[in-house]
Amino acid sequence: MSVALRMSDVHKRFGRVQIIRGVSLDITQGERHAIIGPNGAGKSTLFNLISGRLAVSSGRIELADKNITGLSPFEIKRRGLSRSFQVTNIFPRLSVFENVRCSLQWSEGWRYSFWRLADAIPELRRKAELVIDEIGLTGRSSTPAGVLTYAEQRALEIGITIAGDTSVILLDEPMAGMSLVETQHALELIRRISSNRTLLMIEHDMNVVFDLADRISVLVYGKIIATGTPAEIRSNDRVREAYLGTKVADVASS
Amino acid sequence: MVWAGCALVLLIIPLAPTSGFALSLSSQMAIAAVFALSYNMLLGQTGLLSFGHAVFMGIGGFVAIHVLRSVNAGEWQLPLILLPLIGALGGACFGLVFGWFATRRSSTAFAMITLGFGELVYASAFIFVDLYGGEQGITADRTLAPKILGLEFASQLQVYYLIMSWAFIAAVLIFIIGRTPLGRVALATRDNAERVAFIGYNPNRVRFLMFVLSTFFAGMAGSLFAIDYEIVTYGSLGLSASAQVLMMAFIGGSSTFVGPIVGAILITGLQVLLGQYTDLWILYLGVLFAIVIRFAPDGLAGLIAKECASWRLNHIRGRSVLIGLRTIAAVIAAIGFVTLLELASRAKTASVGGAVLRVWGTHVDVMSPWPWLFAGICFLMGLISLRFVHLAAARRMSVADVNGEPK
């Protein structure tokens, strides 16, 4: 199996504060990989480093064996990695359809084109409708994104992320703030969209993590203390210690 | 359909028994509309607030007038109807250079850069007198150019059609650009520039391209101005011209396509028509601007669109009565306010014999207290009834809520 995403000794400092302290991790092509860890462990920072939102202090990040360290977010996206955000980050005044279509434009090759009407490109419309259908917002296509319900906005957040064929997707707490029913829907959605992609996700809901992930990495104080299958993580002493008998232990004993 | 209708209206306006004044007024409005539309490509479509957009209209105007002079002198051969293209390219070339560094910033920083740049170019007009023509400006003769179809543009009617044709083309193009992939992603950049970077677009590049396109049309507006007036002065580059186009876009409504056109027509109309009767027109413009910003942040076009939408969706009984009452109260308040201001302005010049205010043929003595009292009462009554109507409406709404009636 080839490596889809590789981090080698990645560090991030804010001034004198070390947030990420030497993360090395290989994500295999096609796997579903979850990152868990207590609050403030640096999970979101790690995502920001991978997706180019923040610059690494040192270390190297490779996407499909090509160096992407220091590239800007749009260059990384063009190379095939896209991400969602923990705090919903959509285009509030555009309709659901426009949100998704804009996210498709680049990979469909329309780029900065200003000589062709977007409505006159059937391929864009068709693909956008496919994505909207996939995230279950078909009936809401013309609704401004800003007035969607919270769960719908979270679905759109994922829709924007998966639109435009990227092989690696990063989901930052896709289930945050969802009810039990909504979480079930979102779980099915993520399972579907990750069937032909490499998935790296941050999630606090341990049921979701242990249900969905092929492998799990535990990040504590900027370091990965364990990586392995759900079963290995359950029985790992250092993980139990880090969580001090909280969620992981609960799931492990259930 | 809508476009064809507009074209038809523009075509038949001159058939009405109108004066040359009406023709030149509508030409002015069309030029302002192109300028305002080009401005709104930045403000409404890309979310960029510029305080220096008049620079590009001015540059377009100066390029056009200099080219026209060369044509006059027989150095170049260029039919007049193609001059707006040259001016537009001039504006865009300048936009290319300036936009290259201005669009690396957005929001406040961008606004400040445009402000500084606008002042810089304005100030440079006093240094490069040959280019800008100093106080007198640069003049040229539009009739001394190679003729196509025998059009020599000596009559206002021919100029009207020339300006309207280009204005129409510009409006269609701007409309289309807003609906291309670039135009769509510009809207996305306005909404959330950060996320745009994560869907594969460089937000700075989006801003840059929209900026250059917008300066193209600003330059076109400038050359239409040059053709219409046959003179361009450095005043057209200044901050007040930039502020005016900002007001056009805001008052008309920057979130709709027609908004800037509405604003351009309204403000040009105010300026030209009111300007004949009072020196205070710019003050009225300011008050109107403040009122729109406060009570109709989406501008007049946005307000109308919203009213139409709520008309269709949730019909409150007596809504039209409510709007009627509001309008009457607002008109009364406005009459009082305007009368007060005009009285005050006359009173100031009373010592030099301007103590008479002419209203509909009657002469009002500014020195007597009665007109002041009348105006004051008018103003207050208007405001009080506005407040009253507002409270009544609010009560009605809340009653409707309690009863579970559809709003």
| pLDDT tens profile A106-145 | 999 999 999 999 999 999 999 999 999 999 999 999 999 9
**pLDDT value of position A161:** 96
From chain A, pick out residues whose CB is under 8 angstroms from the CB of B182. Answer: 112-114
Residue B91 φ/ψ region, left for φ over 0, alpha for ψ in the -120 to 50 degree band, beta for the rest: alpha
Q: What is the mean pLDDT of residues B13-31?
A: 84
> Per the domain annotation, does A62 fall within a domain?
yes
For B182-195, give one letter per residue: b (16+ CB within 10 A) or e.
bbbbbbbbbbbbeb
Substitution target in A114, A162, A171 with the highest count of B β-carbons within 10 Å is: A114
* Residue A22 contacts residue A47 (beta carbons within 8 Å): no
* Residue A96 contacts residue A128 (beta carbons within 8 Å): no
Residues sharing a CB contact under 8 Å with residue A1, sequence separation 6 or more, in sequence order: A28, A29, A30
Residues A88 and A114 in one domain: yes
**pLDDT value of position B9:** 84
> Per the domain annotation, does A242 fall within a domain?
yes
* Residue A106 contacts residue B200 (beta carbons within 8 Å): yes
Residues sharing a CB contact under 8 Å with residue B335, sequence separation 6 or more, in sequence order: B375, B378, B382
CATH at residue A112: 3.40.50.300
Question: Percent of chain B scored above 70 by pLDDT?
Answer: 91
* Residue A84 contacts residue A52 (beta carbons within 8 Å): no
Confidence of residue B407 (pLDDT cuts 50, 70, 90): very low
Residues A55 and A129 in one domain: no
B157 vs B223, more confident: B223
Rounded CA-CA distance B225/B1 in Å is 29
Rounded CA-CA distance A52/A83 in Å is 10
> Per the domain annotation, does A184 fall within a domain?
no
Confidence of residue B89 (pLDDT cuts 50, 70, 90): very high
pLDDT tens digit sequence for A81-91: 999 999 999 99
Are residues B184 and A107, on separate chains, in Cβ contact within 8 Å? Answer: no
Question: Nearest by CB to B182, which of A91, A107, A112?
Answer: A112
Residue B280: CB atoms within 10 A of its CB come to 17
Pairing of strands A3-14, A58-63: antiparallel
Rounded CA-CA distance A207/A243 in Å is 15
Residues A86 and A160 in one domain: yes
pLDDT tens digit sequence for B290-300: 999 988 889 99
Backbone angles phi and psi of A224, in degrees to 5: -85, 115
Q: Does B187 touch chain A (CB under 8 A)?
A: yes
Q: What is the mean pLDDT of residues B192-220?
A: 97
Rounded CA-CA distance A216/A232 in Å is 9
> Per the domain annotation, does A176 fall within a domain?
no
Confidence of residue B406 (pLDDT cuts 50, 70, 90): very low
B321, pLDDT greater than 90: no
Which residue in the block uniquely carries the two structure tokens 């889809």? A4
> Per the domain annotation, does A192 fall within a domain?
no
Among chain A residues, CA nearest to B209: A112
**pLDDT value of position B67:** 96
> Per the domain annotation, does A191 fall within a domain?
no
Tokens standing for residue B258: 């027609």
**pLDDT value of position A220:** 92
Give the residue from A165, A183, A209 where a domain finishes: A165
Nearest to B34 by CA among B78, B87, B107, B103: B87
Among chain B residues, CA nearest to A158: B199
Residues A70 and A88 in one domain: no
**pLDDT value of position B34:** 98
Residues A123 and A58 in one domain: no
From chain A, pick out residues whose CB is under 8 angstroms from the CB of B196. Answer: 74, 102
Question: Nearest by CB to B191, which of A91, A103, A112?
Answer: A91
Are residues A77 and B200, on separate chains, in Cβ contact within 8 Å? Answer: yes
B405, pLDDT greater than 60: no
Nearest to B34 by CA among B159, B165, B180, B158: B165
Backbone angles phi and psi of B134, in degrees to 5: 60, -145
Rounded CA-CA distance A24/A7 in Å is 5
**pLDDT value of position B2:** 82
> Per the domain annotation, does A229 fall within a domain?
yes
Give the residue from A144, A165, A186 where a domain finishes: A165
Our CA-based measurement puts residue B47 at a distance from the nearest CA of chain A, in whole angstroms, of: 12
For every residue of A31-98, which 3-state class applies, written as one string? Answer: CEEEEECCCCCCHHHHHHHHCCCCCCCEEEEEECCEECCCCCHHHHHHCCEEECCCCCCCCCCCEHHH
Give the residue from A147, A165, A183 where a domain finishes: A165
Strand partners, A21: A11
Our CA-based measurement puts residue A59 at a distance from the nearest CA of chain B, in whole angstroms, of: 22
Query: How many Cβ contacts (< 8 angstroms) between chains A and B?
Result: 101
Are residues B200 and A91, on separate chains, in Cβ contact within 8 Å? Answer: no
* Residue A53 contacts residue A143 (beta carbons within 8 Å): no
Question: Nearest by CB to B176, which of A98, A102, A117?
Answer: A117
**pLDDT value of position B403:** 53
Residues A203 and A241 in one domain: yes
Residues A33 and A94 in one domain: no
Among chain A residues, CA nearest to B184: A102
Rounded CA-CA distance A236/B398 in Å is 60
**pLDDT value of position B46:** 96
pLDDT tens digit sequence for B100-139: 989 998 889 999 999 999 999 999 988 888 889 888 899 9
Which residues of chain A are under the pLDDT cut of 70?
Answer: 1, 244-254
Q: What's the domain range around A124?
A: 82-165
**pLDDT value of position B361:** 61
pLDDT tens digit sequence for B53-83: 999 999 999 999 999 999 999 898 899 999 9
A75 vs B15, more confident: A75
Residues A68 and A95 in one domain: no
Number of domains in chain A: 2
pLDDT tens digit sequence for B143-173: 888 887 777 888 888 999 999 999 999 999 9
User: B370-377 long-range contacts, Cβ below 8 Å, gap at least 24?
Assistant: B371/B339, B371/B343, B372/B340, B372/B343, B374/B339, B375/B335, B375/B336, B375/B337, B375/B339, B375/B340, B375/B343, B376/B336, B376/B340, B377/B336
Among chain A residues, CA nearest to B180: A117
**pLDDT value of position B317:** 58
pLDDT tens digit sequence for B95-107: 999 999 899 988 8
Rounded CA-CA distance A159/A88 in Å is 12
Confidence of residue B404 (pLDDT cuts 50, 70, 90): very low
B314, pLDDT greater than 70: no
Mean pLDDT rounded to a whole number for chain B: 88
Q: What distances in angstroms separate CA A67 from CA A70, A161, A199, one per listed residue?
A: 9, 22, 19
Nearest to B193 by CA among B182, B207, B183: B207
Residues A74 and A91 in one domain: no
**pLDDT value of position A194:** 92
Residues A34 and A97 in one domain: no
> Per the domain annotation, does A177 fall within a domain?
no
ipTM of the complex: 0.93
Residues A213 and A249 in one domain: yes
Residues A4 and A58 in one domain: yes
The tally of CA atoms less than 13 A away on the side-chain side of residue A22 is 1
